[in-house]
Structure 1
Amino acid sequence: MLVGYDPTWPEQFERIARQIRALGDADWTIEHIGSTAIPGMRAKPIIDVAVRIRDLDDFEIHSQALQGGGWRRGSAVRSHPVMILEADGIRSAIAHFFVEGEWDAVHQRLLRDWLRSHPDDADRYSHAKCDAVAAAARGASTYNAAKTPVIQEIVDRARAARGLPSVPVYDK
């Protein structure tokens, strides 16, 4: 379910980032990603964050403490570790952990930056998200799969603008 932009999402992100740093590593770089990071965009009310870790061992060292703080490993994502925060069965946050060497090319970060500076693409993506909700409701596709073609196109442009090659964005 998509909801209208909530101006408290940046504050929610800050609280989540503080919690992750307290449970994990105080030096981790943590950024707000996903649709809740795009001012004015409709979104699922789930705060997505990108966490820069040194390597996968860095994640493993801290994953137990994160689990103790209510985070659980989850997601069908194959390219990087993901942890989910839920309360009473309602997902409130998703943390994506990326190793330092991949950080500058993380497509979730590139998409966020592109949408913040290209309002026409942000509008196009917002419409694609609404269409994806409808497709999922009809059983024609999953929400993520239905919006992927538009994400791929936008990320390809964002990557090209930085001199990076195209890579598949769907990794489930």
Structure 2
Amino acid sequence: MLVSYDPSWPARFTSFAADLRQLTGADWAIEHIGSTAIPGMRAKPIIDLAVRIRDIDDFDAHQPALEAGGWRRGSAVRSHPVMIREREGARVAIAHFFTAGDWDAVHQRILRDWLRSHPDDADLYVHAKCDAVAAAARGTSEYNAAKTPVIQEIVDRARAAQGLPSVPVSDK
């Protein structure tokens, strides 16, 4: 379900980022990504975080502390580790862990920055999200799969503007 932009989302991001740092003691760069990071955008009320880790061993070393603090593995994403925070059985935050070597080319960060500065593409994306919700309700498509072609189009445009090649945005 998509909801109207909630001005509390940036503060919720800050709280989740502080939680990750407190649980691990790690000095990770953590950024707000996803639709809740785009002012004015309709979104599922789930805060997405991009966490820059040194390498996979860095993540592995801190995973037990994250799990003890209520985060859990639980995603079909294959390209990077993901941990989820739930409250009352509903996802409230998703932390995506990217290695330092991959950080500058992470398409989720590139998409966020592009949508913040390209309102026409932000509108295109919102319409794709609404269409995806409708398709999922009809049972004709899964939400993420339905919006992926538009995400791919926008990410390709954003990456090309930076001189970066296209990469598949779907990794499930």
Query: Does the TM-score normalized on the shorter chain lie above 0.5?
Result: yes
**Pairs within 5 Å for 1:1-172:** 1-172=1-172
Residue 16 of structure 2 aligns to which amino acid in structure 1?
A: I
In structure 1, what is the Cα distance between the partners aligned to 2:101 and 2:160? 19
In structure 1, what is the Cα distance between the partners aligned to 2:122 and 2:25? 33
Q: CA deviation at 1:29?
A: 0.2
Please report the RMSD computed on the Cα atoms of aligned residues, expressed in angstroms.
0.6
Q: CA deviation at 1:146?
A: 0.2
In structure 2, what is the Cα distance between the partners aligned to 1:158 and 1:91? 29
Query: Which 5+ residue runs of structure 1 have no aligned equivalent?
Result: none
Q: CA deviation at 1:74?
A: 0.9
Shift >2 Å, 4+ stretches: none
Query: Which 5+ residue runs of structure 2 have no aligned equivalent?
Result: none
In structure 2, what is the Cα distance between the partners aligned to 1:6 and 1:35? 11
Deviations along 1:6-44, one digit per CA (max 9) or x if unpaired, are: 000000000000000111243100000000000000000
Residue 69 of structure 2 aligns to which amino acid in structure 1?
A: G
Q: CA deviation at 1:120?
A: 0.5
Deviations along 1:74-93, one digit per CA (max 9) or x if unpaired, are: 11000000000001101100
SS of the residue corresponding to residue 101 of structure 1 reads coil
SS of the residue corresponding to residue 92 of structure 1 reads strand
Deviations along 1:54-96, one digit per CA (max 9) or x if unpaired, are: 0000000000000011000011000000000001101100000
Deviations along 1:120-159, one digit per CA (max 9) or x if unpaired, are: 1001100100000001111111100000000000000110
In structure 2, what is the Cα distance between the partners aligned to 1:25 and 1:106? 24
Q: TM-score, normalised by structure 2?
A: 0.99
Q: How many residues align?
A: 172
State, as a whole percentage, how many aligned pairs show the same letter. Answer: 78
Q: TM-score, normalised by structure 1?
A: 0.99
